[in-house]
Amino acid sequence: MSKLNLDCLALIFNELKDKKSLHSCLLVNKEWCNLVVPILWKSFLCYEENEENKSIYYNTILSLLSSSSKQLLINNNIKLPLPNLLDSPLFNYISFCKFPNSDIVNGVINMVLKNHNNHDKKYLLEQEIYKLFITQCKNIKELYWKTTQQLSLFPGASTCFSNLIKLNINLDYINSNSLEEMAKYCKNLNELSIHNPKDSPGLISLIDSQKNLKEIFLYSVKYKERTYEKLSDSLSRKSNSLIKLELSNIIIIPLSFLTSLVNLTTIFIFFNEVNEHDDDIKKIKEFQKYLAMSEFPNLQILSIYWLLCFKELANLIEKTNENLLYLDIYNTPRNATNTGMLISSIANNCPNIKTLRTYIEPKDFIHIKSLLLNCKNLKEVKFDSLYAFINLNDNILGDELLDILIKFSPKSLNIITISAIWKYSIDGFENFFENYRDCTLRQFNLCKNYDYDITEDHKAIINKYVDEGVIRSSVCTFY
């Protein structure tokens, strides 16, 4: 039998998702073993769930610690599993690995120290594990930095981290000096995630040193009173390269930098629910002001969570040069207004939009017609109600929306989610689904459902059309 080319084998092995099959390949011959071992070790740190297998991997990591590290640990009464001090591994497995996150390192520590609360021992073992990876891992592309260990100051750090393209840091753990050192040789990041940002010189240096930073993510666990003008300024200086921005609970930063980021194609903004009497509502209103002032002509994806900003979004969408493809507005406060203004702005300025999820009121149904007629590429819509209960005086308003969807929906639209609170007649339901017999609905969903809105007859109709294949799937949760 002719022998398979090793390059072909490598491609095949990389496509295999079944670890059992890969383990079987190890036993075929030495060449196969040499190809499979790096593949297994490249992924085990992320995907291994079996506790027994984890222990094997963790023990192997400990066995690869340098002699000086092992002796240091022994001198500090940290007892390593005996086999790791006797056996010599066949491969330098660490060189195949991705750089471990803190969960993996903590897993090794807990296996050795059995969850003992000796901080000094934990810190020392953690230090030696990170030193091992930093000296052995080359060309690391991603780093999740959530430890007080000053990784950037360890021997070999400049080689290990100089080619990073994705860095995730938590500033509750990392000091400014460590970031300052990282900035000296980490200059090619495409993506930077910052948890609990601070106006530290090291962070500013790290951002400023990047040559082509494309994506920035800022997350804060809770609102803080301090503001960070230097961080805001540093983000403004990256306006030429930044194309993606994600903000979560970030009202601690002067948000004037938004108006500078004219090349953004993707924006995600998330706020936790805030009390209207909370002082932070003023900062959120300031954010909405800057949002309305900003221009993002290349914007394609926009997701907003918990903001009263339909008017500002309508103004923003008018300046997107018809590039918007995805708009998702989620968990909006119930006292929001101008929902119809937003629908109208989308209809007039977003002919290429594919996904729209937003809130409307029955009075906005009139705008849905022009939306469906002008946006011929729509694939998914979600129209939710702003209110949990509406006094409809027993009027059935939902049939009006169903009728508009039947008459004016583009052929591409096959995922539809609507609020159950607007009430639908049985005949209206039947007529709506019959219209889709020749073009199957991929999904039909109901949101904010209440028993008095959707009867058992409505549920039976949905189930009937699912069974008949008119609706491929349906998610209808009834409270």
- Residues 112-130 have pLDDT tens digits of 888 677 889 999 999 999 9
Name which residue leads in pLDDT, 460 or 292.
460
The number of folded domains in the chain is 1
Query: Nearest to residue 231, comparing CAs of 267, 269, 197, 261?
Result: 197
Residue 354 has pLDDT above 80, yes or no: yes
Comparing 199 with 25, which gets the higher pLDDT? Answer: 199
For residue 392, what pLDDT band results from cuts at 50, 70 and 90? low
Report pLDDT for 478.
45
Task: Determine contact, residues 310/339, Cβ cutoff 8 Å.
Answer: yes
Query: 407 is written with which tokens?
Result: 């008459």
At 296 the three-state DSSP class reads coil
176 found inside a domain: no
Rounded Cα distance, 260 and 236, in Å: 6
**According to the model, what pLDDT value does residue 479 have?**
36
Query: Which of these, 421, 407, 420, 400, lies nearest to 462 by C-alpha position?
Result: 420
pLDDT for residue 86 is more than 60: no
The answer as to whether 279 is a domain residue is no
Asked whether residue 370 is domain-assigned, the answer is yes
CB 341 within 8 A of CB 366: no
| Residue 166 phi, psi (nearest 5) | -140, 120
What's the average model confidence in pLDDT over 144-169? 94
The predicted pLDDT at position 210 comes to 97
Please indicate, yes or no, if residue 366 is contained in any of the structural domains.
Answer: yes
pLDDT band, very low/low/confident/very high, at 1 (cuts 50, 70, 90)? very low
Domain membership of residue 157 (yes or no) is no
The residue-averaged pLDDT of 25-35 equals 72
Residue 279's CB is within 10 A of a number of other CB atoms, namely 10
User: Which residues form the domain of 415?
Assistant: 295-479
Cβ neighbors of 268 (< 8 A, separation 6 or more) are 245, 246, 247, 248, 301, 303
Question: Is the pLDDT reported for residue 446 higher than 90?
Answer: no
Greater confidence, 224 or 16? Answer: 16
Query: What pLDDT is recorded for position 376?
Result: 96
Q: What is the mean pLDDT of residues 334-353?
A: 90
Interstrand relation of 215-219 and 191-195 (parallel, antiparallel or unpaired):
parallel
What pLDDT is stored for residue 228 in this prediction? Answer: 76
Of 111-115, 229-233, 362-366, the poorest mean pLDDT is in 111-115
State residue 254's pLDDT score: 67
H or E, element range at 70: helix 67-75
Q: Round to whole Å and give the CA distance between 387 and 376.
A: 29
Q: Model confidence at 454, in pLDDT bands (50, 70, 90)?
A: confident
3 state SS of 12:
helix
Res 397: pLDDT: 81
- 303 forms beta bridges with 268, 328
* pLDDT band, very low/low/confident/very high, at 391 (cuts 50, 70, 90): low
Residue 235 burial (CB count, 10 A): 25
pLDDT over 70 for what percent of the chain? 80
Helix (H, G, I), strand (E, B) or coil at 245: strand
> What local confidence, expressed as pLDDT, does residue 154 receive?
94
* Whether the predicted pLDDT of 436 surpasses 70: yes
Looking at residue 415, which CATH number applies to its domain?
Answer: 3.80.10.10
**Helix/strand/coil for 377:** coil
Of 29-33, 81-85, 371-375, 463-467, the poorest mean pLDDT is in 81-85
Range in 2-11, 334-343, 391-400, 470-479 with the lowest mean pLDDT: 2-11
Choice between 421 and 236, residue whose per-residue pLDDT is larger: 236
3-class DSSP assignment, residue 289 = helix
Q: Note whether residue 416 is domain-resident.
A: yes
With 70 as the cut, is the pLDDT of residue 102 above it?
A: yes
Note the pLDDT of residue 337: 82
**Over the stretch 259-314, which tens digit does the pLDDT of each residue have?**
899 999 999 988 765 555 555 567 677 777 888 888 999 999 999 887 768 888 99
Higher pLDDT, 225 or 417: 417
pLDDT at 273: 58
Answer whether residue 419 is part of any domain: yes
CA dihedral 184, 190, 195, 199 (to 10 degrees): 50
Mean residue pLDDT across the chain: 84
Is 156 domain-assigned? Answer: no
Q: Which of 80-84, 140-144, 468-472 has the lowest mean pLDDT?
A: 80-84
